[in-house]
Amino acid sequence: MASIKTALPKRSILNADHKKYDYVDSYKDVLIDQENKFNSTDIGKAFFLSGPKWVEKLFTVRNKIVSVFGLKTSGKINNRQAQLDSFKCEAGEQLGLFKVFGKTANEVILGEDDKHLNFRVSLFIEQQPTNPQKKAITISTTVEFNNWLGRLYFLPVRPFHKLIVPTMLKGIIKELEKRN
């Protein structure tokens, strides 16, 4: 199945208080989980392993540009695998630019607050009622602009974001399915 654009899951932590965001998007696809073993922590870790090289290069360019304006960057990551091995995907942990803001059995909320905007990424996993070996994975992004710089920043980011998120979702599924 191809990734499809969808709505923010009703049971998402990001939907809990029916907050209005300046930007929201969600993409959904299906994971075949033959042993019914994957949970939100697995999805969270796979998120950090799923980015293609071109996305890494875009983030490198992004970090160089935004550092001039005093915005947060992911910083230099030394021994990424060691960091991933010790990463538990628990609230308060940070990996690169992404801090864990919340976690349930079905969802991990990653993101960051900065002076120009606040963003959250929901990694939501849900078992399909008709087939226990199939799980829907939805990646949702919410953005709140804090000022005009946030709106300006997001203008060139938005088209790339719409390419990156479905690519990341496919990468997460590929990463997990190779563990089956």
Domain boundaries defined on the chain: 4-177
- Mind listing the pLDDT tens digit for each residue in 53-100? 766 776 666 666 666 666 666 666 566 667 777 788 899 998 877 899
- Mind listing the pLDDT tens digit for each residue in 130-180? 888 899 999 999 999 999 989 988 998 899 889 889 999 999 999 998 887
pLDDT(26) > 70: yes
* CATH code for residues 4-177: 3.30.530
What pLDDT was estimated at residue 16? 86
- Residue among 142, 139, 156, 146 nearest 66 (CA): 156
pLDDT(126) > 90: yes
What pLDDT was estimated at residue 97? 77
pLDDT(40) > 90: yes
Helices (H), the chain: 40-47, 53-67, 80-86, 148-177
Residue 31: strand, helix, or coil:
strand
Residue 39: strand, helix, or coil:
coil
Q: What percent of the chain has pLDDT over 90?
A: 54
What pLDDT was estimated at residue 111? 95
What pLDDT was estimated at residue 58? 64
State the angle between helix axes of 40-47 and 148-177 in degrees (0 to 180), rounded to the nearest 10: 110
